[in-house]
Every structure is written in C-alpha cells, then in structure tokens.
Structure 1
C-alpha cells in the first residue's frame, strides 16, 4: 500500500540543502520564472520530500529552484516598477547579504507517491485550456506585462484569435487542437538524444536574451555572420 503525502512543516531553506528531483522530465522556462520572481516574489512554495536520514528532494518547483539559483547571492541591483512605485527585487530585496533560498512545504511520502506528485505537477498544467476572452481582459487590465510570462506579441495573437471569423477559429481548432495563443506562431519541434540536447542548450545559453527566442536570434545571427565570412 502506497503512502500518501503528509504535510510536515513550512520552512525557508538554503538551496544548497535541496536536491532536484532525479529524472524530472519537464523542461521549464527558467528565464520567465526568474522574471516573475523578481516582479512578484515567491508566491508558491516548493514541495519538498523529507526522508529520514536522507536528502530533501524537490517534488514540485524544480524550475523555481533553478531560477532562484540563477539569481545568485547578494543584491542583483534590479528594481521593479509597480502601481505603488519602484520596489526592490522580489527575490533578494536588494539585500547584499541575501543567499539563495526558498520557502518550502515539507512532506513525507513513499517513492511511488513522490514520482506521481512530480509527474502530475508537470502534467496538470499541460492538460489545462484557456478562456481567451477572460485572459484578454486580465492582460488588458494591467499597466504592463512584467512578470506575467506574456509579451506584446502574445497579446496581439490573442486579440487576433478572438477577432477571427468562426470558421477560421474552427479550422485552427481542427489542426491544432484547443485554440491557444501559439497557433499564429510557427513552432520548432525536434526529438534528439540527450547529448544533442545538452549541446543545443549550451549553444543557446551562450547568447544573451530574455528568453530562448531572443537567444536563438543571436545564435542565428552568429551563424549567418560565420557563413558570410567563410564565403568572402
């Protein structure tokens, strides 16, 4: 009989005491999470499995942990604009003494339940859909898109989707499944081995950019530059 998760306590823990979930299959957008944390603060705890005489394993929130780690120690020097004025970074509070850590909810459970929690936490969001009229209203009510994960281009795409004739929306649904803000933007999907994926991430992360799309632009610019130099 499997053991269901049992809440133990909530605590703020240094990141170096936490262990990422082994084999976590999700590849989250750490840059977007980092921007959200800087703007909104850590509004959701990591879910951490406590094992007697064992490691503290992050079941849910692995990419939040990565984003906090990417921030690094000390004052990042960044501030955010809010309706109430300029506020400090939501992670470090611009404190030079800040060390990477996270608010965690510790639970106990067996290995089988731990794996199920990790899997469903990643999968549940994938299975959700959107009410795009409600989303459009929410985004339109904000002064800016900082910390939302959305860009002005996303808002334009959602607006175009809502304005599309019913037959076009139906056609999009037939070809893409449930309509979403990405249907107007081409997607690149490749299945590769782990070594190729690691090389791709290293190449991409070697370039500056607020997200993977911006990094890809810089990478492609570099490729075109090398080609032009080789042809000269």
Structure 2
C-alpha cells in the first residue's frame, strides 16, 4: 500500500508561475539543502503578472486515498453503467487512477472531490473497497468544472471500429469484465456479416484465384465507409501505411 508516509506525495517547486514536479518523496530537498516538506502553493497561484494562465493546476502526486476521504462531484451529469463498472473492478481491479481535486494542496492525503472516475468511486464503495488510487490535483473550481465536462464529453465524441472490436473480443476465452456479453458479441458479428453481404464483399478471395490470365495494371480494393468522417480516417490510415489511396463519392 502506498501511503504519504512511505511513498509520499511529490514536492512542487513554484517559481514565477511555473509549476514543476521536483521530487518523489514526502520530504524533498531544495537547491539550498533545506527541507521543503509538503508541497506549498502561493495564494496568488495562477494569477498575477507573469503567471502562466494555461497551467492553472498543480499535480500533487498519485496516492492511495481512503474511500471515506473522497466524495463524488456534485451535479455530475454523467449517468454511467454502474453494474458494468463494478464487474470490471471485480475482475480487472483498478487499472487507472481517478482524478481528484484536493481539499488541501499541502495535505493531498486528506482526499477531496472526484473529477474523473465518479462511477469508479461509486462502484468501489458498493464493492466495499477501502481506498482508490488517485491522481491528486490542486485546481480552482472553474478548472474543475472544465475537467468534469471534457471527461464526460470526450468519450461521446469518439467512435468505434466494430470490426476491430469483434476481433479483440473474439480473441478472449470469455467476455467477463469486458462490458460485453455473449448476446451482444453475437449481435455485433451478425451485423458485420450483414454489412459485408450488403456491400457485396462476400468471402475473401484466395491468392491466385483472380479471373484473368494477364497481369492487370492495378490491383484495387474498394472500402465502403459509413460516413465522411470514417472515409477521412481510412484515407489517413492507408496513407500512413504507404498505400496509394483516393476518395470516391457516389
């Protein structure tokens, strides 16, 4: 178990609005040889002439924080799938830290408000966990709101490559802890098969079975995309692989 006494939060050096991690133990040494102890944050943090307004946060360290010293973000708009998250925690443990706005930046071990990972926090509480690995930040309330908003929004803006997903899930012996069940996987595979049939792809050809006795000038493959965004992404990916590709709109 990592505790502030054994591993500690990192020390932060603050010079003219520039904030850097300068140590990795609970008690660090400054350049003059004295102990600087816990991170200290100036009252005018992120403000005033010469301050870096784009860096209005300080990373205080990653600590195992007791559950009873954490609280969910009030008014969090996200409504996550708590049963799926609890299943993941039970089978995969905590594979990434939650993000927490520290109540006291000089004592991040005292906990704070969860900004990212609210449903992980709720699921862990339901499972009877006693602590969570937490990235502790010193941020003002405005930055905290922005973090909550973008953490919820960014996942919505992404898309899923269903074929790669099916391949990923198909390589597993079972679907426990993935967020998918067998019925969902079967539905995904059927959808991909139907899409292949609709585009006339059929089964993949074997090498050497082309219906021609002469070497053609061009060997080509047509990829049907769902929308313009996917077309742009496919052009980018194939181009990075060194393939000669062009867009077709019909």
Q: TM-score, normalised by structure 1?
A: 0.58
Greater RCO, 1 or 2 (C-alpha within 8 Å, sep 6+): 1
**Counterparts of 1:134 and 1:165, CA distance in 2:** 14
1:137 and 2:193 aligned: no
Residue 51 of structure 1 deviates from its aligned partner by 3.2
Q: What is the aligned-residue RMSD (CA, Å)? A: 2.5
Q: How many residue pairs were aligned?
A: 147
Q: How does 1:4-153 map to 2 (within 5 A)?
A: 4-52=56-104, 56-72=112-128, 100-153=130-183
Largest Rg, 1 or 2: 2
**Counterparts of 1:70 and 1:51, CA distance in 2:** 23
**Counterparts of 1:165 and 1:13, CA distance in 2:** 48
Residue 3 of structure 1 deviates from its aligned partner by 5.2
**Counterparts of 1:165 and 1:138, CA distance in 2:** 19
Residue 71 of structure 1 deviates from its aligned partner by 0.7
Unaligned runs of 5+ in 2: 1-52, 200-225, 231-250
Give the 4+ runs in structure 1 shifted more than 2 A.
Answer: 1-6, 51-55, 165-169
Residue 168 of structure 1 deviates from its aligned partner by 5.8
Q: 1:44 to 1:167 in 2, by over 3 A?
A: same
Q: 1:165 to 1:59 in 2, by over 3 A?
A: closer
Q: Deviations over 1:15-39 (max 9, x none)?
A: 1101211110001111111110111
Residue 166 of structure 1 deviates from its aligned partner by 6.0
Q: Which has the higher helix share?
A: 1
Q: Deviations over 1:123-146 (max 9, x none)?
A: 111111111111111000000000
Residue 114 of structure 1 deviates from its aligned partner by 0.5
Q: Deviations over 1:103-159 (max 9, x none)?
A: 111011111111011111111111111111111110000000000000111111211
Q: How does 1:194-213 map to 2 (within 5 A)?
A: none
SS in 2 for 1:159: helix
